[in-house]
Amino acid sequence: MSVKRVLGVTIALSVTVLLSGCAVGPDFLHPAAPEVGRYTREPTVLRTVSADTKFGRSQRLVNGRDIPADWWRLFHSPALNSLVEKSVVANPNLQATIAALRAAKETVAAQQGKYFPTIDASLNPSCPM
């Protein structure tokens, strides 16, 4: 194939690709986001049926209420409270996490060094006798 023919085919393909980007047209409008007021399509019930537990009370659901940061305390379970406290104590803190990320970044930088050329030199002096 000649150079002129390859150049012509390349230009024709480039023009075709560039013009296909305009296929939607300048009058395209993004569709509006749907109106959503809750997570479910049907309205949620505000009260559950009684539970088959020790006290058997039904739960009340309140829309828009904040959940406390220590939400597990709402269960009034000493075992659960103890488990969460142990897990918080056993987990690394923010400074340890930052140090681990810094070490990981340095390891990546050290491994990327293999992509660069290396220079080796040696010297062996000798005296004629």
- Spatial separation of the C-alpha atoms in residues 13 and 80, rounded to whole Å: 65
Confidence (pTM): 0.34
- Spatial separation of the C-alpha atoms in residues 54 and 75, rounded to whole Å: 13
Per-residue pLDDT of the chain (129 residues; tens, 9 = 90+): 688 888 888 888 888 877 776 666 667 788 898 888 777 888 878 877 777 777 777 777 777 788 888 999 988 999 999 999 888 888 878 788 889 999 999 999 888 888 888 888 888 888 877
Please give the helix or strand (H or E) that residue 79 lies within, else none. Answer: helix 78-90
Residue 49 lies in a domain: no
Range of the domain at 95: 69-113
- Spatial separation of the C-alpha atoms in residues 114 and 56, rounded to whole Å: 66
If one counts the domains in the chain, the total is 1
Residue 23 lies in a domain: no
CB 46 within 8 A of CB 40: no
- Spatial separation of the C-alpha atoms in residues 47 and 63, rounded to whole Å: 12
Q: What are phi and psi of 60, to 5 degrees?
A: -110, 135
